Amino acid sequence: MMGILVTATDSWALWALLLLCAAAGFWFEKTYAGARVSGPIITMLLAFALSNAGVIPAQSAVYDTIWRYLLLLAIPLLLFQANIKQIFSESGKTLLAFLLGLLGVLIGVLLAYWLIPVGKSDWQVAAVFTAQFIGGPENYNQVAGSLSLNNKTLLEGGKAAIHLVFVFYFIILFLLVSIRTLRMQFKEALTDRWGPTVVVVVDETRKGSSIYVPTLSTGLALSAAICALGVWAESVLNWQGAAILIITVVSVILALALPRAMARIEGSNEFGILLMQLLFAVVGASANVSVVAKSAPVLLAVAVIIVVVHLLFVILVGRWLKLSLPEIVIASNAAIGGPLTVAAMTSARRWHHLVVPAVLYGTIGYAIANYIALWLGNWLK
């Protein structure tokens, strides 16, 4: 078997390929067809293809750098010029959809638990999958430790299966809001505020943006300072996810208190979108079919059932409750993907007014995931 062409330590080559995947997505969005499908899909698929073709690794410190630093840096940049009034008006509906998403995850976990034979550790697997989907990787590891799940094959196989499912889950989310006939089945369809999304994306990518280096550099410095404050506060509070929440809140306060000053930071939104695009490249690169096939392919079935049930539940019940499809999709991402992936999706679709509520609810998922997962695991034991 051939080794990886670009290894995990070939940092510059990895950065070049990830940025190339991101650039390909942006170029694709310059067309109306590309804007409808969305550039992040192209970025994810390219990185996924490179990873599974043995060109780039599924794990690397470069990916960790993007997750830990660049994505946090992007959040304030996306919020400096946010429409605060519209943000507050959207919070209630998004919360309802988010709660539906959490319930959908639990239903999916229970169904997978009853349908897929995993062995004596089935209740532990159900718990750690709940922790991962509602929270994130840290929740996954913490719950595994709390429940004494020490089977390395199950742990690594579960992570690999979830990474693989996430790629296709995100692709489905982007495609759902691009299907005209489907959106017309929901409240506030193509004639509402969501309608011009494709036109907005195309116009923005074609005309470019006005970037003034002094103000953009100031914005980057301010964003880094806000991130430093958030990370410091998280360490003091010892609360996972607090950094993202504090970064979001401080950014919103600045946008609310100093709207004119924040509006002068030209190019901050575009730079934030670029950083978020790298997330989709990392998601695609982290999903490797061979890793899943070698470790525990049965766990892939578990992850698929959870995601499919979650999506069907949140879409059907959301439609019954007269929620719009974009609100449902964003809340689903917040419930199952987390604050960073949902921030990336809202920025990619130019739904800037949904960044704050989506990030807020995604962060809440981090906070409650362990409690829900441990309760469920002990109940199933």
Ordered alpha helix ranges (H), the chain = 11-28, 32-37, 39-52, 61-65, 71-79, 84-115, 122-134, 137-146, 152-176, 180-183, 197-207, 213-237, 242-257, 259-263, 268-286, 289-295, 297-320, 325-336, 339-348, 355-380
Give residue limits of the domains in the chain. 11-380
What residue has token string 């067809």? 33
Is residue 20 pLDDT above 50, yes or no?
yes
Query: Quick one: what percent of the chain has pLDDT higher than 70?
Result: 89
CA distance 6 to 11: 9
74-83, 102-111, 317-326: range with highest mean pLDDT: 102-111
CA distance 122 to 105: 16
CA distance 58 to 178: 29
Please give the pLDDT value at position 339.
Answer: 81
Structure tokens at 357: 């509520």
pLDDT in tens, 352-376: 777 778 788 888 888 888 899 999 9
Q: Among 49, 44, 71, which residue's Cα sits nearest to residue 283?
A: 44
Give me the mean pLDDT over the 41-60 stretch.
92
Please give the pLDDT value at position 188.
Answer: 59
Q: Among 154, 201, 175, which residue's Cα sits nearest to residue 352?
A: 201
47 band by pLDDT with thresholds 50, 70 and 90: very high
Measured CA angle at 239 (ends 73, 228), to 5 deg: 30
CA distance 189 to 191: 6
CA distance 203 to 199: 6
Structure tokens at 67: 């997750």
Please give the pLDDT value at position 194.
Answer: 43
Is residue 325 pLDDT above 90, yes or no?
no
CA distance 50 to 57: 9
pLDDT in tens, 279-291: 899 999 988 888 7
Give me the mean pLDDT over the 257-275 stretch.
84
43 band by pLDDT with thresholds 50, 70 and 90: very high
Please return the burial class of 264, using the count of CB atoms within 10 Å of its CB with bins 0-12, 13-18 and 19+: middle
pLDDT in tens, 212-247: 788 889 999 999 999 999 999 999 988 777 888 899
Structure tokens at 378: 């002990």
In Å, what is the CA distance from 363 to each residue of 43, 350, 368?
A: 25, 21, 9
In Å, what is the CA distance from 199 to each residue of 184, 188, 350?
A: 18, 17, 11
What residue has token string 């550039």? 39
SS3 sequence, 205-261?
HHHCCCCCHHHHHHHHHHHHHHHHHHHHHHHHHCCCCHHHHHHHHHHHHHHHHCHHH
What is the secondary structure of 333-346 as a DSSP string? HHHHT-HHHHHHHH
